[in-house]
Amino acid sequence: MANFNTHLNVAALLTGLSSASLVAAGHIELNTAIWLWFLGTMGGLLPDIDSDNSTSLDTIFNLFAFAIILIVMRYIIDEDMGDLSFLKVIAIPVVTYGVMKYGLRTIFERLTVHRGSCHSLLFLALCGLLTTQIIANVDGINSNKADSLAWLSGGFVFLGGFIHLLLDEIYSVDLRNIRIKRSFGTALKLVDLDNKLLLLGMMIAVGVLWTTTPEIETTLDMLCDWSMFTLV
């Protein structure tokens, strides 16, 4: 399978080209393109979070923990404005990071195996829809663009993850000896049938997220309109 640097570089290249194309078509602004590029690149590392000794696991969980800390701190600041002590400012991030690293991560490692449920299109759909929901509910985004930004954010997470799975399958073919390795077919799959309980939970989560997502028609209409696309 492809290594960490290959996944990172290829995902960054392809999602960067994709976000640049949206800018050239007049669909998004440059700052939005950079955000989508970041999400696509992180999505390119996402499937390997099921590897207990993976650099991708460390990177994704550290970024996720940092994002959760920012969300928690924003909530605390809004609730306790004017009554925010130095101890609270230090303790909340430390406790949050500890729960993420030694709690959630440990549980996640025990529930997953490498090239299991996380190496499936269902998992990518779950991550994409979850991202869509989070972005759609962030305060301060222009209401006219919130739905499109949410769907594009979730779509780039899915795209980055799909690139990862595709690379793993490509690396499963040894072109020098013209043979297919035993790992072929274990990465790019619709669902993982080995863990039925986890599969059921993911399917329910995807169903619930899909029924509560913002409307998608405006985003699809935008993506179908490339009349303003320019190369120079």
H-helix or E-strand containing 51?
none
For residue 33, pLDDT beyond 90: yes
* Bridge partners for 21 per DSSP: none
**Residue 51 near residue 114, CB atoms below 8 Å:** yes
SS3 at position 125: helix
With b for 16 or more beta-carbon neighbours within 10 A and e for fewer, the 93-119 pattern comes to beebbeebeeeebeeebeebbbbbbbb
Comparing 81 with 90, the larger pLDDT belongs to 90
pLDDT score recorded for residue 19: 95
**Residue 28 near residue 168, CB atoms below 8 Å:** no
pLDDT score recorded for residue 175: 38
Alpha-carbon torsion angle 90, 105, 48, 190, nearest 10: -130
Predicted TM-score (pTM) above 0.95? no
For residue 198, pLDDT beyond 90: no
Which whole number is the average pLDDT over 34-44?
A: 92
Q: What are the helix (H) ranges across the chain?
A: 4-24, 30-43, 55-79, 86-99, 105-111, 121-136, 143-170, 196-211, 217-224
Contacts of range 30-38, beta carbons closer than 8 Å, 24 or more positions apart: 32/149, 32/152, 35/153, 36/152, 36/153, 36/156, 37/12, 37/156
* pLDDT tens digit sequence for 139-185: 556 555 788 999 999 999 999 999 999 988 887 654 344 444 554 45
**Residue 26 near residue 222, CB atoms below 8 Å:** no
- Two structure tokens written together for 217: 């028609």
The position carrying tokens 């920012």 is 70
Provide the pLDDT confidence category of residue 129 given band limits of 50, 70 and 90: very high
